[in-house]
């Protein structure tokens, strides 16, 4: 039984140093699924949230500052920026937002790790709902680890979001063991109205 499980999870590959275990196709399938999820969220936000069909190319309403506290197996603090459009179909027009973001942060895991994150977020949909997908890189400048993190939660008019998520390890090795459940508290502050 153990042999069957091992064969399903790993394939053997001969190297100059002997046999090595390499992950099977599961991770490549995960990457394909991830790409489809992001594409679906972007398509949904453009179709449901009232994007102006006459505009050509990306057009955003606001530039925002993002502040995030993330609790998992360690405490993590992030600062970043997002470009957002207002959700026209919201109960209160403009209460919700959607768009891409980039964050940079620090976590106190082990001797301290630095993180960079890119993703896409919908917050304040129907006033109280939010969702987010992101790719995260953690590094101590000796090693590097990549994760994919989908999140869902509640929002206060798109300004303050509380989300639950799960970090999926998409690297072959797991140096920092940050995969698993996490809770995030995120605040967005508008810096510039790009429509003016």
Establish if 33 belongs to a structural domain: yes
Residue 99 burial (10 A CB sphere; 0-12, 13-18, 19+) = buried
Q: How confident is the model at residue 119 (pLDDT cuts 50, 70, 90)?
A: very high
Structure tokens that stand for 85 in this block: 């459009």
Q: So what's the pLDDT on residue 182?
A: 92
Give me the pLDDT at residue 4, please: 39
In total, how many domains does the chain have? 1
Tell whether the model's pLDDT for residue 24 goes beyond 50: no
Domain span at residue 35?
22-193
CATH code for the domain of 83: 2.40.160
Domain for residue 127, yes or no?
yes
Within 10 angstroms of residue 144's Cβ, the number of other Cβ atoms is 14
Residue 168's CB is within 10 A of a number of other CB atoms, namely 16
Q: Mean pLDDT lowest for which of 56-65, 69-78, 114-123? A: 56-65
In a domain, residue 12? The reply is: no
Residue 94 in domain: yes
Please, which pLDDT band fits residue 196 given cuts at 50, 70 and 90? confident
- Asked if residue 3 is part of any domain, the answer here is no
The pLDDT of residue 106: 93
Query: Beta strands of 52-112 (E only): which ranges?
Result: 62-71, 75-86, 97-107
């Amino acid at each position: 039984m153990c042999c069957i499980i091992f064969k399903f999870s790993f394939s053997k590959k001969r190297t100059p140093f002997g046999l090595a275990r390499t992950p099977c196709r599961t991770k490549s399938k995960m990457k394909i699924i991830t790409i489809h999820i992001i594409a679906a969220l972007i398509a949904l936000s453009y179709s449901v949230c009232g994007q102006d069909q006459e505009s050509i190319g990306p057009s955003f309403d606001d530039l925002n500052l993002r502040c995030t506290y993330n609790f998992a197996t360690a405490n993590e603090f992030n600062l970043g920026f997002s470009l957002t459009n207002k959700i026209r179909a919201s109960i209160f027009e403009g209460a919700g937002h959607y768009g891409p973001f980039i964050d940079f942060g620090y976590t106190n895991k082990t001797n301290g790790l630095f993180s960079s994150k890119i993703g896409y977020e919908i917050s304040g949909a129907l006033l109280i709902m939010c969702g987010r997908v992101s790719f995260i890189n953690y590094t101590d400048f000796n090693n590097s680890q990549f994760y994919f993190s989908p999140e869902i939660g509640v929002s206060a008019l798109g300004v303050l979001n509380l989300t639950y998520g799960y970090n999926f390890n998409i690297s072959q090795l797991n140096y920092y063991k940050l995969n698993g459940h996490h809770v995030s508290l995120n605040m967005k502050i508008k810096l510039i109205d790009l429509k003016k």
